[in-house]
Each structure stands twice: as structure tokens, then as C-alpha cells.
Homo-oligomer: A and B are copies of this chain.
Amino acid sequence: MTDAQRSGCPINLSLEVLGDKWSLLIIRDMMFGNRRHFRELLTKSEEGISSNILADRLKTLLEQGIITREDDPTHKQKGIYSLTEQGIELLPVLAQMAAWGYRYLPVTEELGIRARLLSEGGPKMWAEFMDELRESHLGAKRRKRTGPSVGERLQAAYESVVKRS
């Protein structure tokens, strides 16, 4: 995680920030699992990140302006991590990566359902979900809403699959 810059190529620069096995998983959990505290990110994820790695990655993501941290008013020790606009705009990257993994890798049905819906929904659904993230992470104004949010639909679909098995 040194800042030695290899080249000014956008793909290379992105990989220097996000090119490891954990950073994007943390973003994923913040986006789709609504994990906002250190402890939630540590324990409530499928993969089991260790605490020192989590602390290190959160620090890097903070430095890069992808997330922010503020104190939780209800608990003097807790911090609340939020995605910035820059972080929210990683959604299309995650969506494409999820769609590719869904097509080619041994994805479980439970964990693949979100990828499938998001892929079928396409860029329009992504934009809608990003707007919802701007509400919950940036405190943006709530727009008019018809029916359940994208986040709710994804969550409902996931739970429906879990219940079936």
C-alpha cells in the first residue's frame, strides 16, 4: 500500500487503490449489506476478514476519499463509515464484476441472486440504487418513490432464496 505510482493509466491507478482481495468486498458489504460499523464489517461478512486487515483497508479507503468516518452519537466508541460519492460510483464496477462472476464462476444460488437481478436491471437500476445510497450515506434528499426500493428488492429476493433452501 505504498503510493509508488506505476503509471497514469486509469485502470492501473484504480488497481493501485482497489487491486487486492479485500477492499472491494468491504465496499460491497457497505453497499449491499448496509454495514456501517467496524464490528459489523468484521463479523457479518461471508468471508471473515481479520481485524488488522480491515483496519488497514478502512484507513486506505479513508485516505483515498472513498469512504468517510464519523462518530456515532449513540455510542462514544462506535464510528459510522459512509460511502462518498466517489465510493458510490464504484457500484457499476461491482455490478459488472458480479455479472461476470455470475456467468463464469461457481456462484451459489443464494449469493448469486442479487447479481442476477442487478444484471437484469441494467444501468437504470444501478442509477436508482446509487440514488438510494446517496440518501443513506450522504443524507441526500429523498426523491419521490413508487414501491419498494432497489435495496429492499434485492434483500427480499435474497431472503426468499434462503428460505427456500
Contact = CB atoms under 8 A, between A and B. Distances in A.
A90 B93 CA distance: 11
Interface of A: 6-17, 19-21, 24-25, 28, 46-48, 65, 86, 89-90, 92-108, 110-112, 115, 123
B17 A105 contact: yes
Given A10-B107, A11-B101, A14-B98, 9 more contacts: A8-B111, A9-B28, A9-B47, A9-B107, A10-B99, A12-B25, A12-B101, A15-B24, A93-B100
Given A16-B21, A89-B100, A8 B110 contact: yes
Contact of A21 (B19, B101, B102, B115): B19
A2 to B, nearest CB: 12
A55 to B, nearest CB: 19
A67 B14 CA distance: 22
24 contacts: A7-B108, A8-B107, A8-B110, A8-B112, A9-B28, A9-B111, A10-B97, A10-B98, A10-B99, A10-B111, A11-B28, A11-B98, A14-B97, A14-B100, A14-B105, A15-B24, A16-B21, A19-B20, A20-B21, A65-B104, A86-B104, A90-B100, A92-B99, A92-B100
Contacts of A10: 97-102, 105, 107, 111-112, 115
A47 B101 contact: no
A33 B98 CA distance: 26
A15 B93 CA distance: 12
Given A46-B6, A46-B9, A96 B104 contact: no
